[in-house]
Amino acid sequence: MKPADRVQQVPPSGIRRFFELAEERDDVISLGVGEPDFSAPWAARTAAIDALERGKTSYTANRGRRDLRTAIADHVERYDLDYDPDEEILVTAGASEAIDVAMRALVNPGDTVAVHQPSYISYVPGVVFAGGEPLAVPTRAENGFALTYDALEAAGAADADALMLCYPNNPTGATMSADQLADVAEFVREHDLFVLSDEIYAALTYGGDHTSISTFPGMRERTVVFNGFSKAYAMTGLRLGYALGPADAIAAMNRIHQYSMLSAPVTAQYAALEALRSCEESVREMHDEYNRRRRFVLSRFEEMGLDCFEASGAFYAFPACGDDDEAFAEELLEEQGVAVVPGSAFGEGGAGHFRASYATGMAELREAMNRIETFVRGR
């Protein structure tokens, strides 16, 4: 039996390789993973335990429990997003499922999906699995890794059908201001694209509040927004996310979701509902701790002479490290036992940088920074 062509077209994840190398040693400090070092807030965990004790182990409605969808609708009002819990929200197994289902439901074979890069490693494979054609749109450190009208134009995105957007960004930690987003929205309207906007790090911004592209004139009807509980609520393993979008897009996504997933994990839905009801304070504490680490990491990179732009979202820094980022990351791991991810794993525009996640305890982070400094000074 042979894998289908579209599967063979997609190489294995470049990030995994580094995890595997790192796992071979026990002295490694990993700044490689993109997941919180915290556990989910206790109240959310208790709600999950309680649901299990009450025997809540069945499927839910395909779109997710209504009380959860209502709570999500209330929650996203903070971003000026207004979505109807019955028609415009789909609860999924992580934002990952939402993104995958959106691509399969909305991208036709041969459609072009512009993907700004460097960005999260799932988008290009997602486009390919949906039968679409990814178009890389590089962003640059000089622009703070923001996507611009000009970058879209230069990459030929005027002829694309859709734009995959991710701010706050993984791997750069970049956020985009309302003015910058307005520029992108203008391009999108002018060229009649639709937008898939991954806003999973919306709650983790450090310079100002998150703005969704969906709030710009003429954008709501052409945008699907993704968010979830993995990052802000430290619930990665519980697998819960959601999509917000126009009723017809959500209905199309649900058509796939109802056959391929049936419903998102029920225990996680109870945890998520409680997270939205009572865990604001925990989110604030984790946010503030990430921010403290962010400032520490940025200042240490500066001290050791690594050029690093001011990452203002998510929990990543993306310093420059010379042309060969693969060699940098490999040697850093071999010589100092610190795992980071080479920027080129995240597509065009990522080369010459590495991603360091600061979702790591302060003591380990300090030690990791000392080791990186020793490595950089010895090079």
- Residues engaged in binding ligand PMP (CB under 6 A): 34, 94-96, 120, 166, 170, 198, 200, 228, 230, 236, 241
The nearer residue to ligand PMP, 15 or 160, going by C-beta atoms, is: 15
Please state whether the peptide bond connecting residue 118 to the residue before it is cis, i.e. omega within 30 degrees of 0: yes
Taking the complex as a whole, the smallest distance from the CB of residue 119 to ligand PMP amounts, in Å, to 7
The bridge status of strand 354-357 relative to strand 316-317 is: antiparallel
Taking the complex as a whole, the smallest distance from the CB of residue 19 to ligand PMP amounts, in Å, to 13
CB-based contact 92:294 (threshold 8 Å)? no
The nearer residue to ligand PMP, 124 or 376, going by C-beta atoms, is: 124
Taking the complex as a whole, the smallest distance from the CB of residue 98 to ligand PMP amounts, in Å, to 8
Taking the complex as a whole, the smallest distance from the CB of residue 94 to ligand PMP amounts, in Å, to 3
305 contacts: CB under 8 Å, gap ≥ 6: 376
Q: Distances from the Cα of 140 to the Cαs of 150, 189, 307, 321, in angstroms?
A: 12, 23, 13, 15
The nearer residue to ligand PMP, 64 or 241, going by C-beta atoms, is: 241
Closest CA to 321 of 368, 375, 366, 364: 375
The bridge status of strand 89-92 relative to strand 241-244 is: antiparallel
Q: In the complex, which residue's CB is closest to ligand PMP?
A: 94
The nearer residue to ligand PMP, 51 or 98, going by C-beta atoms, is: 98
Taking the complex as a whole, the smallest distance from the CB of residue 204 to ligand PMP amounts, in Å, to 11
Amino acid at 183: D
Taking the complex as a whole, the smallest distance from the CB of residue 199 to ligand PMP amounts, in Å, to 9
Closest CA to 105 of 225, 251, 253: 253
The nearer residue to ligand PMP, 166 or 188, going by C-beta atoms, is: 166
> Helix (H, G, I), strand (E, B), or coil: what is residue 348?
coil
> Helix (H, G, I), strand (E, B), or coil: what is residue 167?
coil
Taking the complex as a whole, the smallest distance from the CB of residue 198 to ligand PMP amounts, in Å, to 5
The token pair at 107 is 């991208």
Unique residue bearing structure tokens 């998150």: 210
Taking the complex as a whole, the smallest distance from the CB of residue 169 to ligand PMP amounts, in Å, to 7
The nearer residue to ligand PMP, 198 or 325, going by C-beta atoms, is: 198
Q: Distances from the Cα of 336 to the Cαs of 22, 183, 323, 330, 359, in angstroms?
A: 11, 43, 20, 10, 19
The nearer residue to ligand PMP, 101 or 376, going by C-beta atoms, is: 101
Calpha distance 195→163 (Å, rounded): 5
Residue 333 zone, left/alpha/beta (φ > 0; ψ -120 to 50; rest): alpha
Backbone angles phi, psi at 90, to 5 degrees: -125, 125
Calpha distance 37→66 (Å, rounded): 30
Taking the complex as a whole, the smallest distance from the CB of residue 21 to ligand PMP amounts, in Å, to 19
The nearer residue to ligand PMP, 96 or 139, going by C-beta atoms, is: 96
